[in-house]
Structure formats: structure tokens, C-alpha cells
Amino acid sequence: MNKTPKNRRSFFKNILQNNSKKPEDFAREIKGPPHSKSRVWLKLKRNKSALMGIIIISIFIMLIFFGEAIAPYDPLETDYQNILSAPSLDNWLGTDFMGRDVFSRILAGTRLSLTVGFIAIAIGLSIGVFLGLVAGLYKSWDNLIMRFIDVLMAFPGLLLSITIVATLGAGLQNVMIAIGISSVPLYARLIRGEVLKVKENDYILAARALGAKDIRLIFQHVLINIAAPIIVYSTFRVASAVLAASSLSFLGLGAQPPDPEWGRLINQGRQYMLIAPWLVLAPGTFITLAILGINLFGDGLRDALDPRIGE
């Protein structure tokens, strides 16, 4: 007579000894831990472009916190005997028209340029989520909010930002507000469309039938199910915000002297571009790398959060 395998005997022994366990507990013991939580990370690890983006972003995040500490020189220190020096071992990216070390100024400007992008998107996201949720859930407010959004979208994003900064005055704080406001219509339209799709699902209708209040519906059902497109879109918008902030600083509407913001560094170095091209190429390269890293990560994150793409 065939004997019961040892692992099978131990399994049934556990059932007899742990009769208080639920069936799904034994299923976990057989199949192992669920992999749904790690699905996104597994997809990101398999995507070489996404990994490259993560590495680039990690480096820039470290520069945000420690850039000024690891800078070889004071970014505001002038040396009039070392004006427009070419890149060397002492000055890796050369010096500017006042003898200041370009590499140190770029490291110091990393915090300004990237922080402006993150805060501006946070402003646009918070306002856009509110307007999109209200427009998607309440028909009485939908038409009014969307007509207001249509008015904002009639202006190109950069032109709207320039108009707001010109009204409020130059400065990084006003640049963050301007870029945030210019992002509101894009977020509002995206979130409204997602809410209109989600609110017709059976679980939303069932929750309403059980008497769930709007606040509970929003936080426990709606936002959770539209989080993926919001996260992916916000990633790409950060790159756009960094570029917009640099553009406004280049035009003289953003950072003011002596702040070493990337766009302002390009503006200061453009008149010396023929004799000292590093003044333009160095900050331009940092802007390109930052935007490239964010976009690579955004592409990988979009693929990882898409359930239609297999493991």
C-alpha cells in the first residue's frame, strides 16, 4: 500500500492542529507569499531604460541634499585673477566671467532647479485633483469647471506662465506658482476623464447603494483606482516643469542674482559662448540629463503599472 508522502502528512497535520486558520492561510503556505506587491518593482528591474532613469534620478536627489556640501568651492566666491579659465583639474568645468567655479555653481543650482519643478507640480496636482474630482463626480459643477479649464488651455503653458510671473513679479516663488497654475488644466482634464470611467464600475455603485458618503468613495475607491495614471503623468510633468523653470530663469523672470539656477547660468554664459562654451554646455548638459532621467523612469513606470503588459 502506498504511503502518504511526508510533506502531505505534515500539511494535513497542520490542518488538524490549526483548525482556527482560514483557508487562504493554508493557500499562502502552499503557494508562498503573493507577488502582486512586487510586480511593479520586478518590471522596473527588468527594464534597463527605467533602471538607468532611476540611477540618474538618484544621483540628482543626492545632489539636491549634498550638492553644496561636496562642491569644491563656494559657488558665490569670485576670483578676478581666474576669469573665464578653461576646464582643468582645479576647475573641472572652468570658471565664469567673475572667476566663480562653474561646477560648484551647477551643483548649488541643482537644488533650486529641481525643487522648483517638484513644488510646481505639487501645486498643479493638488488643485487639479480637486477640480477633476468635483467635475467628474458632480454634474452640476462639471460644465462650470470645464469651461474654466478650457479658458486656461486656450493659452500655451509657457505663455500662461510668463503672463502670471509678469503679473506677480520675478522670482522663484512666483515661477513655482505660475508653472503650477499652468499645469492645473492638464491635471483636471485627466482626472475628470478617469473619474468618469471609474464611477460607473459596479463597486462604486454598490458602495453608493450601501450608503457610502462621498468622502469615503473618493479616498477608498476613486483615488486608489486612478492613482496609476496620475503618478505616471506627474513623472513626465516634473521634467516639463524643470525645463519651464529653466526657460523662465533664462528670460530673467525666475532666479535672480546671485542664485545659480541652471537657466540663469545659461543666460549669463551665452554672451561668452564663442570664447567660453563651457558656460553654456555645462548647465545645458545637466538640464538634459535631469530631463532624460525623469523621462526614462516615467516610461518604465508607465509600462510597469500597465496591467496589460505581462510579467
On whether residue 296 sits in a domain, the answer given is: no
- Over range 78-104, report the average pLDDT: 90
On whether residue 197 sits in a domain, the answer given is: yes
On whether residue 189 sits in a domain, the answer given is: yes
Q: What is the four-CA torsion angle of 177, 181, 186, 189, rounded to 10 degrees?
A: 130
- Over range 156-183, report the average pLDDT: 90
- Over range 42-59, report the average pLDDT: 89
Q: What are the CA-CA distances from residue 103 to residues 78, 201, 247, 248, 277 (Å)?
A: 14, 54, 20, 22, 14
Q: Which residue has the higher pLDDT, 131 or 302?
A: 131
Mean per-residue pLDDT over the chain, rounded: 84
- Counting the structural domains of the chain, the total is 1
The range of the structural domain enclosing residue 205 comes to 77-288
Residue 149 is part of a domain; what is its CATH number?
1.10.3720.10
The span from the CA of 193 to the CA of 197, in Å, is 7
pLDDT digits over 258-271, tens only? 888 999 999 999 98
On whether residue 307 sits in a domain, the answer given is: no
Residue 215: per-residue pLDDT: 83
Asked if residue 31 has pLDDT above 50, the reply is no
pLDDT bracket for residue 1 (50, 70, 90): very low
On whether residue 171 sits in a domain, the answer given is: yes
Q: What are the CA-CA distances from residue 170 to residues 167, 173, 207 (Å)?
A: 9, 8, 49
